[in-house]
Amino acid sequence: MRESVQAEVMMSFLVSEELSFRIPVELRYVTMDPYAVRMTFHLPGDDPVTWAFGRELLLDGLSKPCGEGDVRIAPTDPDELVDVHIRLQVAGDRALFRASAAPLVAFLDRTDKLVPLGQECALGDFEGNLEDALGRILAEERNAG
């Protein structure tokens, strides 16, 4: 059985109303952490930055504004599934990205084929997997800082 799904999409990093630029973003989903997706943003001149958040948040954010706190996702037009805004925030720093919904839908479809939504807990030792995943995320953050 495959244990991960990866994709690369181009997103617009919206610096201001007048300035934006396209960047590659790697999407990753692994069965060891079945509730989360990871997005690695490759910003020019900086080390890649990885964010992990709920797969269901990404799915719900395609059709309606979702999220609280650090990650918020919303369609740019609630009547059409065309583009999505992804807002990331740490303390007072914010970053806003615009992505086409189509590659996100395709990625989520592939994750659903690997682990259907609602079946994440059937993968076995969820508590152990969660503890391992949190340990990896904290180690990544310490190494990045």
Over residues 87-97, the pLDDT tens digits come to: 999 888 899 99
Tokens of 145: 């800082």
Question: What does the alpha-carbon distance between residue 96 and residue 85 come to, in Å, rounded to a whole number?
Answer: 7
Over residues 3-41, the pLDDT tens digits come to: 999 999 999 999 998 999 999 999 999 988 899 999 999
Fold of 4-144: Transcriptional Co-activator pc4; Chain A (2.30.31)
| For range 81-87, the mean pLDDT | 94
Task: Report whether 58 contacts 71 (CB < 8 A).
Answer: no
Give the mean pLDDT of the chain.
87
pLDDT score of 43 more than 90: no
**Closest residue by Cα to residue 36 from 45, 25, 28, 44:** 28
